[in-house]
Every structure is written in structure tokens, then in C-alpha cells.
């Protein structure tokens, strides 16, 4: 069964505070992602269809954290996505009028080392477990 701790569910709920989100505040740096937990060190999780479905259900009340504009997938977008995935494990990414939304969604998943759980309209749902302390427990198929 898919379980998320109470604190995990509260993190996904929209907040009324005005704190800067992931990627906001480091606008000056434009180098590549230098995270030791970068996707090169950890392959994207392989999920079964029932696990992707469960994650889409968990993502339903979430709001998009990362927005991809007309410039497309840039280093800044990937940095913000990496920070969001480390903080939340399950994130929504909003695409603004992409040329090919399916290709953009696949590129985001591949470059971030995350599993593509779904694409609903122009919103991409990505999942990458935390490398040290995963908070979302994926369901397991029970035989019989």
C-alpha cells in the first residue's frame, strides 16, 4: 500500500507563506547541476503501471512546483527540478506551450533521473525517491 508520512503529505499541500521556492534565489549561477546525488549516480526507478497509478493519485492535490517556459529545458530548470525532487520526491512540472509535450516530459525524466508517472495536459508528474531517506512507500503487488 502507498503510504506517505503525515509530514510528507503536509509538505505537498499549498502553503500561504511567501518563502522562495526551489531554484529561486540562485538566479546568478548558470553552471551544470553539481549535486552529489545527481541522476548520473542513481538510475531512474522502474515503476510498474499500478505503482505509477498510485503515485498519480498522490500527486492529484499537488500544485506544480517547477515551471518550464518558452526557453524549454534549461540548466536552471533542471537545477530547480533536482532540488524539488530531493525535497518532495513526487513533483508536478508545468509546461508552457511546449512544441512536443511528450518529448519534453521524457527529457525531463531522463535528465533528472526520475520516473515519469504521468502527463496530464501540460503537467508532468515525476517521482524520484530520496537517496538516503525515502518517504513515499510504493505499493507491492500481492499474489493471490
Look up the pTM and report it: 0.71
Fold (topology level) of 49-129: Translation Initiation Factor IF3 (3.30.110)
Q: Is the pLDDT of residue 42 over 50?
A: yes
Which band of pLDDT confidence, cut at 50, 70 and 90, is reported for residue 97? confident
Rounded Cα gap, residues 79 and 55, in angstroms: 23
Q: Is the pLDDT of residue 1 over 60?
A: no
CB-CB contact of 97 with 123 (8 Å): no
Residue 39: its pLDDT value, please?
A: 43
Residue 56: its pLDDT value, please?
A: 96
Please state, as a whole number, how many other Cβ atoms lie within 10 Å of the Cβ of residue 66: 26
Tell me the torsion sign for CA atoms 106, 108, 111, 116: negative
**Distances from the Cα of 77 to the Cαs of 25, 126, 144, in angstroms?**
13, 14, 44
Amino acid at each position: 500500500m502507498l503510504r506517505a508520512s503525515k509530514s510528507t503529505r503536509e509538505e505537498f499541500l499549498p502553503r500561504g507563506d511567501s518563502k522562495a521556492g526551489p531554484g529561486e534565489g540562485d538566479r546568478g549561477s548558470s553552471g551544470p547541476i553539481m549535486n552529489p546525488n545527481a541522476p548520473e549516480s542513481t538510475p531512474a526507478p522502474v515503476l510498474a503501471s499500478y505503482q505509477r497509478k498510485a503515485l498519480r493519485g498522490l500527486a492529484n492535490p499537488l500544485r506544480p512546483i517547477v515551471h518550464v517556459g518558452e526557453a524549454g529545458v534549461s540548466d536552471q530548470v533542471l537545477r530547480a527540478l533536482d532540488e524539488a525532487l530531493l525535497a518532495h520526491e513526487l513533483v508536478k512540472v508545468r509546461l508552457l506551450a511546449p512544441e512536443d509535450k511528450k518529448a519534453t516530459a521524457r527529457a525531463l525524466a531522463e535528465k533528472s533521473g526520475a520516473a515519469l508517472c504521468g502527463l496530464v495536459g501540460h503537467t508532468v508528474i515525476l517521482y524520484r525517491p530520496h537517496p538516503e531517506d525515502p518517504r513515499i512507500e510504493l505499493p507491492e503487488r500481492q499474489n493471490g
